[in-house]
Amino acid sequence: MESEGLILFFIIGAVLVGAAVAVSSFAPPTSTNPQKAETYECGIPTEGTSWLQFNVGYYLFAILFLIFDVETVFLFPWAVVMREVGMVAFVEILIFLTILGLGLIYAWKKQALKWD
């Protein structure tokens, strides 16, 4: 079983959630009350929407993640063939990781890793 198994597991997962939600949407007793549809925030009326601007810190870490995740994508194929290729692969990855390490040190010195 190869890639069709992926579709199978996707479908099972969807069916599992779908069936339970379907049962739960008609089985329980319901009552309507305008208070129930309010956003839960400390019991006082909600001020405005929450779809607004947020701290740039999260964005910065997402960018850093992107850089290093692309790096891991390059490292995975290298890791598989490392044993066969030998010395050449080792020297190459040393250069590659040094450049990336310099990038990390740069981000560190620029206070990009500091949360505020």
Binding site for other proteins (CB under 8 A): 1-2, 4-6, 8-14, 16-18, 20-21, 23-25, 27-31, 36-41, 46, 49-51, 54-55, 57-58, 61-62, 64-65, 68-69, 72, 75-76, 79-84, 86-87, 89-90, 93-94, 97, 100-101, 104, 108, 113-116
* Spatial separation of the C-alpha atoms in residues 79 and 69, rounded to whole Å: 15
Q: Are 113 and 107 contacting, i.e. CB atoms less than 8 angstroms apart?
A: yes
* Spatial separation of the C-alpha atoms in residues 17 and 98, rounded to whole Å: 46
Shortest Å distance, C-beta 33 to other proteins: 10
Shortest Å distance, C-beta 102 to other proteins: 11
Shortest Å distance, C-beta 61 to other proteins: 5
